[in-house]
Structure 1
Amino acid sequence: MAVIYEIISRILLFWHAAWHKVLGNGSWLGTNWTWVLGIICLVLTVRAILFPVFVKQIKSQRAMQALQPKIKALQEKHKGDRETLQQELMKLYREEKANPLMGCLPMFLQVPVFIGLFHVLRHLKPTMPEHLRTLYGWTAGQFESASHAKLFGAPIAASLRSTPHELALLGANGTTVKIVAAILIAAMMGTTFLTSRQMILKTGWAEDPQQRMVQRLMLYGVPFSLLISGTIFPIGVVIYWVTTNLFSLGQQMWVLRKFPPPNQNGAAAKQGAAKQKAKAPAKGGDKNDADSAKTVDARALAPKVGAKPVNPKKGGAAKR
């Protein structure tokens, strides 16, 4: 993992140096913006690198959705024969060039980045021995600057569970840290929920009970778990998580428009057919109304029962 820690550190230090050239110290509103923007740009760098993988993930998901009827048919055909079913499914995946594991690949690739940033920020403590401060490509000056960097008065290395002793060493106010951390944790939970909800609303709930249970777990379980685990995350890590969620919302919106789910196209076709079917009776009704109107008009022009017949010629002669 030391390689991961060094890569994350190098990217973070690169963006900090870049923003330092633009903003100088960049400290106002109780915030060291060069370090905060460095973390945000770290997210953008990682997501830009992973974007082609994300596109492949979406294409793989679409291929898997299109294969669902064939998969169900194989499950019915080989019910009770698990080994044969697995062989036939693998054969189907090879023929259709679909990979069910691609759906989780981007998430797995982001885990080392998250762990690396978590470790690096937890490493930024004033109590760290001198010989450990220059690990992963840091200088003593960069370590000192980052360990005291703040967001609205709360150190980015502090967390909701930081002890009074740790806060005193960081020169932070406990109440300020709790307020900033609580707001960021709420934002982290909310954006995580919205990211999962956006995908489910676009692709629809799964018909399989197990898959639907996984969707519910992603939608409600993961955000709720962050309420507990978020308390140990350094504020800098929570900034990273919120930023990556916001990036995911925009990225998913673009990808879902470019690669719409198959069931959306089917739903649109069904909706169009329903509209045309609804119009058909209306047209038939108009024709029937016209025919009935003609019938009514013909009856109105007919002579009444018991009335004397009128000779149009005589009537015309009398008028002359």
Structure 2
Amino acid sequence: MDTIASLFSFITWPVSWVIVQFHKLYGAVFGPDTGWAWGLSIVSLVVLIRIALIPLFVKQIKATRNMQALQPKMKAIQERYKSDKQRQSEEMMKLYKETGTNPLSSCLPILAQSPFFFALYHVLSNIASGKEIGVLNQDLVNSAREAHIFGAPIASKFMDSPEAVAALGASLTDVRIVTAIMIVLMSASQFFTQRQLMMKNVDLSVKTPYMQQQKMLMYIFPVIFAVMGINFPVGVLVYWLTTNVWTMGQQMYVINQNPTPGSKAQDSYLQRLLKSVTHHGEIRSRRHKAVVKAIVAKGSDRNENERRFIGGLAKAGFAAQADGTVVKSDAAVAEAEGIAAPKRQQPKRQSKAQRQAGGQQAKHDEADEAVVETAEESAGETAQDAAPKTSLEKKPETPAKGGAQAGGRSRASSGNRQRKGQQRPKHPSSKK
């Protein structure tokens, strides 16, 4: 660690100068040799650096969202050219160039902050050794050595020997308790920052390997910080804990005010905006108008959260305009009510016993219909036979023996047809 820190020795002078300027300010309030004066000087250094890095943080957000959106295309390129790594790299670079995405942009804040981190580590190491560095003369070095934060010198480490800690005017127990608490807080803040990013500010409609990588980092980073933290001086732990808390607060602001499209955070944001519109009857903020304008411009490409927001506006009697404003619209209410028409209900499913009973009833109904039809036909034939003969019809002569037999057969056949029509057919369930 000392070797790496020495590589950034060129920046130790500005870092030490900033610390000294803040120390003069806080020393006038808390005393020049107190831990509050030196500890708050380190905290102020972090705040100053993070404010300067806000433009890089904005680029990081844009780069991260672009990488999330490109994951499906990147996966398709990897599968298509899995046997040709060179062509795969060329297609990836082409995709980055077409979309204006830089994969390194997501790491810019960390890379830009690293020189200041190692420079501070180098300054605190020299303070622990009692050596002058940068603009810190011997008097300031001695004052910093005597400064304690909750009983632990700012230059002491968790792994220091009892003799080294005693030389700084403290006990090893106090140093290890303070450093252990700060290491736990540092790791916990890192975990919570990554967790809220994954749980709230990720597009849930796109399942990509990028999400799995982020989940792994959510657990790996805190472990790395915990392992490295035992070799950090208390002053460096103050620096890193402060920057983690700053990152966590910055991330919470971004999640609440500028969420990723398709995420849970966007749904919450749009629901809050919908309540504001229904309450005030208009969109007041310029930033909110820009959000509504972007949603309207998407048209049919809106995600589920955005469609729900437009539908909510319509139900409340508002229509979103292309310039980001809203107007009262009765047509929007009618359209929303039409969209919300009830769906056709499916018939209930019947049990096996109910289906069998229904089938038997249908068979009985068919049999009754057949009996009625047969009876009607037989009645028609009987009425035709019983009709009076006209005067034009010639009376038959007395039939002979054969004629009598034929007439008898005819009457018997008619009687049989009559009886057959009047008989009720057998039940369909009978075997015969």
TM-score > 0.5 by shorter chain:
yes
How far 1:173 moved relative to its partner?
A: 1.8
Residue 126 of structure 2 contacts residue 132 of structure 2 at CA under 8 Å; is this kept in 1? Answer: no
Of 32, 49, 61, 2:52 maps to: 49
- The corresponding residue for 2:108 is 105
Percent of aligned positions that are identical: 37
Residue-by-residue CA offset, 1:165-221 (whole Å, 9 max, x unaligned): 111111102221121111111111111111111221212588344x34532332112
Q: Aligned to 2:180, which of 168, 179, 182?
A: 182
Q: Superposed, which structure 2 residues align to 1:68-147 within 5 Å?
A: 68-125=71-128, 127-128=129-130, 133-147=131-145
Paired AA for residue 107 in structure 1:
I
Q: Which moved more, 1:107-116 or 1:243-252?
A: 107-116
**Equivalents in 2 of 1:123, 1:99: separation in Å?**
38
Supply the AA of the counterpart residue of 1:95.
E
Higher relative contact order (CA 8 A, sep 6+): 1
Pick one of 12, 19, 26 that aligns with 1:12: 19
Return the letter of the residue paired with 1:15. F
Structure 2 CA distance, aligned partners of 1:218 and 1:92? 25
1:244 matched to which residue of 2?
243
Report what 2:189 is aligned to: 191
Alpha-carbon distance in structure 1 between the residues aligned to 2:214 and 2:65: 17
CA distance in 1, matches of 2:225, 2:44: 23
Compared CA separation, residues 24 and 67, structure 1 to 2 (3 A): same
Report if the CA contact (8 A) 2:23-2:32 is conserved.
no
Residue 230 (str. 1) matches residue 267 (str. 2): no
Query: How far does residue 72 in structure 1 lie from its aligned partner after superposition?
Result: 3.6
Q: 1:225 to 1:93 in 2, by over 3 A?
A: closer
SS at match of 2:184: helix
Aligned to 1:314: none
Secondary structure, counterpart of 2:262 in structure 1: helix
CA contact (8 A) 2:33 2:146 kept: no
Q: Identify the residue that residue 313 of structure 1 maps to in structure 2.
A: none
Secondary structure of 1:157's aligned partner: coil
* Farther-moved stretch of structure 1 (182-191 vs 84-93): 84-93
Q: Deviations over 1:266-310 (max 9, x none)?
A: 352476799989x8464767xxxxxxxxxxxxxxxxxxxxxxxxx
SS in 1 for 2:134: helix
Equivalent-residue separation in structure 1 for 2:235 and 2:71 (angstroms): 42
Give the 3 Å change call, closer, same or farther, for CA 267–248 of structure 1 in structure 2: farther
Equivalent-residue separation in structure 2 for 1:88 and 1:220 (angstroms)? 32
Residue 42 of structure 1 deviates from its aligned partner by: 0.8
Pairing 1:2–2:9 present: yes
Query: 5 Å matches for 1:263-302?
Result: 263-264=262-263, 266-269=303-306, 280=340, 282=342
Q: Say whether 1:38 aligns with 2:41.
A: yes
Gaps of at least 5 residues in structure 2 are: 1-7, 267-302, 313-335, 346-432
1:45: how far off?
0.9
> Aligned partner of 2:223: which letter?
F
Query: Unpaired runs of 5+ in structure 1?
Result: 286-320
CA contact (8 A) 1:4 1:113 kept: yes
The 3 A distance-change label for structure 1 pair 18 and 81 is same
Q: Supply the distance in 1 between the matched residues of 2:76 and 2:213 (Cα, whole angstroms).
A: 22
1:76 to partner: Cα distance: 4.2
Q: CA deviation at 1:96?
A: 1.7
Q: Which has the higher helix share?
A: 1
Supply the distance in 2 between the matched residues of 1:280 and 1:45 (Cα, whole angstroms): 53
Task: Tell me if the contact between 1:117 and 1:237 (Cα under 8 Å) persists in the aligned partners.
Answer: yes
Structure label with greater radius of gyration: 2
1:149 aligned partner = 147
The count of aligned residue pairs is 274
Kept after mapping to 1: 8 A contact 2:146/2:168: yes
What SS class does the counterpart of residue 104 from structure 1 fall into? helix
Instruction: Return the alpha-carbon distance in structure 1 between the equivalents of residues 310 and 39 of structure 2.
Output: 53
3-state DSSP of counterpart to 1:222:
helix
C-alpha deviations, 1:24-78, integer Å up to 9, x for none? 4474xxxx21101001001101111111001011112222223334334434443
User: Please, what TM-score do these two structures have when normalized by structure 2?
Assistant: 0.58
Q: Distance in 2 between matches of 1:83 and 1:283?
A: 54
